[in-house]
Chains A and B, each alone.
Chain A
Amino acid sequence: MDIASFVPVADAIPVHWFWLQSLLTATTFLHLVAMNVLLGSGIIALVIMFRRGEAARPLSCAVAESLPYSMALTVNLGVAPLLFVQVLYGQFFYTSSVLMAKLWFVVFALLLIAYSLLYLHKVGMGTSRTSLTFLTIAVLMLLVISFIFANNISLMQLPENWLRYFDQRAGWLITKGDPVFLPRLFHFLASAVAMGGLAIAVYFEFRRRRGDGDTDQWIRLGSTWFALTTGINFGIGFWFLGRIPSNLIDLSHPVGQLYAALILVSIPVAIVSVIRAMSGKIYPAAGWALTAVLLMTIARDCLRLEYLKPYFSLDILPQRAQYLPMVLFLLLFVGALYLTVWMIKLLHTSQEVQS
């Protein structure tokens, strides 16, 4: 059977694909950062609480307080890339989602339970045994969700897997024969732990600058987690790169060239972020780390295009131009940024008044 004949016909997009791809990349980056902070700080708090018990209270309280809001932000920031990926790659994404429909539907239920558990964990301020159990289950659920997401993305970009639908129509399909599946999943998870560590360091650095005591050990702890897991992630990253089929990246093509350049640039950027973190320059370290994540996000989008090249390129998407709604969206987005800054300043000032 010709696999290409199973790829659904794409609907027309309302603006040039470049706009949508830029929005997809930008919002994926934001989502990944929020998701990394959520999962990573949850994992670290869990490990530290099990190892240090009561001594970890400042960290566990801070993380317990922030997790429900990190979750809210992760979900919100996940909506936009989910939207833009459907506009550009819907014919692949909907198909893969239907093929693994039961698992995909479970994501929603797991999210609901994990979110509720994080609130319950917050109520217990992260220290009681019950509260820790809530966090453990929530983190496990988030790990299952990341597994399902990775599955969907793999299935989406490997239509060769799709024909198994005819043997399994009830929505239980998982990806098979994808050599990069595990390294990619582990690469993302290690990145989450690293960014979680960095987020902890940034939070306590912020408190240190406000004059709070007992912050140094947590800044050090966060930085160490960041540095170690980033170091491990270099190894996983090379494993990931090594498993990508050799004929996939076409270096004579601009997308392949951009991918290679991004990987080459992101490595030193990540190294600089680790050096800065270990020398106590937390904010600059965060800047470098975010740059590395952004570069890797763009690289990831290039890789997807390379995977789908036998079936699709963005140029073939039909277009029915209507730009005014996008202009309105961008204006609202800028207004929302302004409002966000104003409200956060207000919150910051109100805390200062209180303290």
Chain B
Amino acid sequence: MNYPVWELSFAGGGLLIAMVAVIHVFISHFSVGGGLFLVLTEIKANREKSPAIMAYVKAHTRFFVILTMVFGALTGVGIWFTISLLNPAAVSVLVHNFVFAWAIEWVLFFIEILSLIIYYHTFDRLDPKIHQLIGWIYFISAWLSLVVINGIIGFMLTPGAWLVTGNFWDGLLNPVFWPSMFFRTFLALIIAGLFGMVTATFQKDREIRQTLVRYGAHWLLCPFGLLLASAWWYRATLPPALEEMVFSRMPGMATFLLGFAVCSALIVLGGLVMAIRMPARLSRPLALVMLLVGLTYIGSFEFIREKGRKPFVIHGYMYANSILTEDLPSVKQNGGVLQIAKWSLNKTITDENRLEAGAEIFTLLCLSCHSVGGPFNNILKVTDGLRPMGMKAIITTMGSDLRPYMPPFAGTNLEKGALVEYLTSLQQK
């Protein structure tokens, strides 16, 4: 109610953030796991005195630098840009509460960049132990970045005691902090293995290719059990109401849960298949398919986490439409949404402006989750075939046990009527 709303119609409902975020989380997890992959593979090359494996590490590092530094870093900035446009009020809460967590992450990001550039440029120039040390510095700073960001993302799902104390540490070290940290760490290792297999399949020497593809497959299979264990721990840590919402009540969640389960099986299966000796013309496309499986895997997980948080953007604190839970009762008491919202043009509803006011109410309350004609949460689809009475009934039951995944309608009865009128007009267009 504090900020203007960017009127996205088709691209609304989370399409933009989904596009940027899924790519970012995939690459950013690679930037963590891949750091360890580089160092351990370099150690392996030195231990086995294998110039071929060392040449692979160098080539993989070049690929790693470009992918993580260009696409990883910039999609990270892109997420920040995007969420601050889509939900400035929520970002403001995150930034004000965790400014020094973000600042710490910035310093770690700087060390990541510097150490990675130096690591890339100093193969053969530094003593191997010192070179590996630079690699370790990169990996540790990248992993610590993950730890910090994990705390902030977890906060949005389970703010825990912060809701009462407002304390930085209560928010950062929230209930899902530890399981989520382990889960993401193991996921990062698996993604490192997926990328490692892809670059390995480009090795010309058959023996080396096979050795490295198998090595990459180990990165999938070894952490997998631990990943599942941490996923189970993650689920067990969720407050019961949230757990029920995620796994039983949220409409559309089944697709992502199924996607996660299928991809889990495919990761194991793919890891086993990739360990079989096969020609490059088979292993390369298979490795690329596995990469897509990995993208779907992490995408499914992030969708489950994001969707599970509904109807909140910060669970129990702020609804997805930026209304604070504590402010909800006062909105009606103070004349309704249009009166309270700083950025509404129609402060009162008259016969002349009903449709315009309804459109404004839709913008303020619904647009953060619903698109108009877009692929995500299309309001036209949701209201298709509904009569005004039916729409009114749905709006009235939002936030109740019937529709707990939606925020309660904050407006007055008059505003509800105007919104229904606007929704009906959308159907007629």
Chain A residues near B (Cβ < 8 Å)? 5-9, 11-14, 20, 23, 68-69, 72-73, 75-80, 82-84, 86-87, 90-91, 94-95, 97-99, 101, 104-105, 107-108, 111-112, 115-116, 119, 162, 165-166, 169-171, 320, 322, 324-326, 328-329, 332-333, 336, 339-340, 343-344, 346-347, 350-351, 353-354
Contact = CB atoms under 8 A, between A and B. Distances in A.
9 contacts: A76-B109, A78-B77, A98-B5, A105-B81, A325-B99, A329-B100, A329-B104, A340-B114, A346-B118
B159 to A, nearest CB: 15
A84 to B, nearest CB: 7
Contacts of B70: 112, 115-116, 119
Contacts of A11: 92-93, 95-96
B110 A115 contact: no
Nearest to A334: B107
Given A11-B96, A171-B7, 20 more contacts: A11-B93, A69-B117, A75-B77, A87-B96, A99-B4, A108-B20, A108-B77, A108-B78, A116-B70, A165-B343, A169-B5, A169-B7, A170-B6, A171-B85, A320-B166, A326-B100, A328-B104, A346-B126, A347-B118, A350-B126
B3 A8 contact: yes
B2 interface: yes
B338 to A, nearest CB: 13
Count chain A CB atoms within 10 A of each CB in B73, B74, B97, B111 and give the residue with the most.
B74
Contact of B81 (A6, A104, A324): A104
Interface string B99-116: 111111011111101110
B81 to A, nearest CB: 5
Interface string B65-106: 010011101110110111011001101110111111111101
Q: How large is the interface on B (under 10, 10 to 19, 20 to 34, 35 or more residues)?
A: 35 or more
State the main secondary structure of chain B at its contact with A: helix
Contact of B7 (A6, A91, A108, A170): A170
Nearest to A75: B73
A23 B103 CA distance: 10
A95 B4 contact: yes
Count chain A CB atoms within 10 A of each CB in B92, B98, B109 and give the residue with the most.
B92
B342 interface: yes
Given A79-B106, A86-B84, A339-B111, A351 B343 contact: no
Contacts of A332: 104, 107-108
A283 B81 CA distance: 37
State the main secondary structure of chain A at its contact with B: helix
A23 B99 CA distance: 11
Contact of B96 (A14, A99, A162, A354): A14
B345 interface: yes
Contacts of A7: 342
Given A8-B2, A119-B70, A79 B117 contact: no
Count chain B CB atoms within 10 A of each CB in A75, A84, A162, A324 and give the residue with the most.
A75
A69 to B, nearest CB: 6
A34 B108 CA distance: 18
A346 B85 contact: no
B96 A76 contact: no
B236 interface: no
A39 B354 CA distance: 51
A82 B84 CA distance: 11
A94 B92 contact: yes
Contact of B92 (A23, A86, A170, A347): A86
A98 B102 CA distance: 22
Contacts of B71: 112
Count chain A CB atoms within 10 A of each CB in B93, B95, B108 and give the residue with the most.
B95
Contacts of B5: 98, 169
Count chain B CB atoms within 10 A of each CB in A23, A76, A97 and give the residue with the most.
A76
A13 B3 CA distance: 18
A217 B16 CA distance: 49
Contacts of A170: 6-8
A99 B110 CA distance: 31
B49 interface: no
A353 B100 contact: no
Nearest to A11: B96
Interface string B154-175: 0000000000001111000000
A273 B305 CA distance: 54
A12 B126 CA distance: 48
B121 interface: yes
Given A165-B343, A169-B7, A347 B106 contact: no
A340 B70 CA distance: 21
B134 interface: yes
